[in-house]
Amino acid sequence: MILQIVILIAGLLLLVKGADWLVDGASVLAKKHKISDLAIGLTIVAFGTSAPELVVNTVASIGGYPDIVFGNVIGSNNFNLFIILGIAGLITPLAVQSSSVWKEIPFSLLAAFVLLFLVNNYFHSENPGLSMVDGIILLVLFAAFLYYVFTQLKSEPSTELIEQKDYSNMKIWGLILIGLAGLVIGGKLVVDNAVAMAQSLGVSEKIIGLTIVAAGTSLPELATSVVASMKKNNDIAIGNIIGSNIFNIFLILGVSSIINPLVFNVAFNTDIYILIGGTLFLFLAMFTGKKKSLDRWEAGLLLVAYLGYTTYLVSLEV
């Protein structure tokens, strides 16, 4: 058991460092080709912080572990929303732009509702889950989100999100390739050892996916948003989370279900309801207290709600 925990931690560290190297190399490569800082921040960095979830879910989907697949995405989204925004909002109240209030947050809410409808097959009588057709639907919606992002770029001035670095082409591609290798190896270690731990402890894969794996793959988002809030860069702090949650549902579950159709455990519905409730709370928080801002007391409520629910989940397994 101790060895499994050590290997799991090593896998998580590889995931986080691999994502960091991948983002670093890809960002410099983009800069060399005159791609704007804002475009890099909204695409490459957002994708980079979601890369651990993508790799873990790809490995879990191939291996036939649907509870890990759903637990990782739904758990990561709830961790992002309740814990990371909670911590970032306690550090400093998070003021957001009007576009985030009226477009990005509602888009994130739409993603959660689409997930709820698709996995429960409300439109037909088959068993709950995601089919290849559902995966295509999710990827089409992801493409629509990317289209929205790029139309926004045309109207937004460029800002210096990424530090300019002068790397040789060999170093750039070395970082990208090593980063990808770290993601693949780390993802394999995380999934294999998470499943082994669940089996040896008698804990369900659902709980392992919602807690240990979800929290571990959310470490890049945690680091990004906490550092951004400390630097008073609210747009990155909150935009990173909202963007990552949209990526996780539309892109990652889309890819996962195309690789292998996923059987859905209806016990996850409670966690999707919590995700929807938390996103609604974030939207309403924009109109209470200081307008277009997540105040400290609202961030504190997010933290307390998540910790309470997680304690309840674990107590059910003991």
Query: What are 267-310's pLDDT values in tens digits?
Result: 899 999 999 999 999 888 888 767 777 888 888 999 999 989 88
pLDDT in tens, 245-269: 998 999 999 999 999 999 999 989 9
Judge whether 283 and 105 are in contact, CB under 8 Å: yes
Half-sphere exposure for 136 (CA within 13 Å, toward CB): 3
Task: Mark out the alpha helices in the chain (DSSP H runs).
Answer: 2-32, 37-40, 46-63, 66-78, 85-91, 98-99, 105-119, 132-155, 169-201, 205-208, 214-217, 219-230, 234-246, 253-259, 269-285, 296-317
pLDDT in tens, 51-66: 778 888 888 899 888 9
pLDDT of residue 277: 95
pLDDT of residue 30: 65
All structural domains of the chain, each given as residue ranges with its CATH number in brackets, are 2-317 (1.20.1420.30)
User: Does the pLDDT value for residue 154 go beyond 60?
Assistant: no
pLDDT in tens, 198-243: 778 777 878 888 877 887 777 777 777 777 777 776 666 777 788 8
User: pTM of the entire structure?
Assistant: 0.79
More confident residue, 189 or 154: 189
User: Does the pLDDT value for residue 160 go beyond 60?
Assistant: no
pLDDT of residue 270: 92
Judge whether 262 and 62 are in contact, CB under 8 Å: no
Q: Please list, in sequence order, all residues whose beta carbon lies within 8 angstroms of the beta carbon of residue 237, skipping any fewer than 6 positions away.
A: 85, 88, 94, 224, 225, 226, 228, 229
In Å, how far from its chain's centre is CA 258? 19
Judge whether 240 and 45 are in contact, CB under 8 Å: yes
pLDDT in tens, 17-33: 877 777 677 667 766 76
Most confident region among 16-20, 45-49, 79-83, 291-295 by mean pLDDT: 79-83
In Å, how far from its chain's centre is CA 202? 27
User: Does the pLDDT value for residue 157 go beyond 60?
Assistant: no
The pLDDT mean for the chain works out to 81
Model confidence band, residue 133 (pLDDT cutoffs 50, 70, 90) = very high
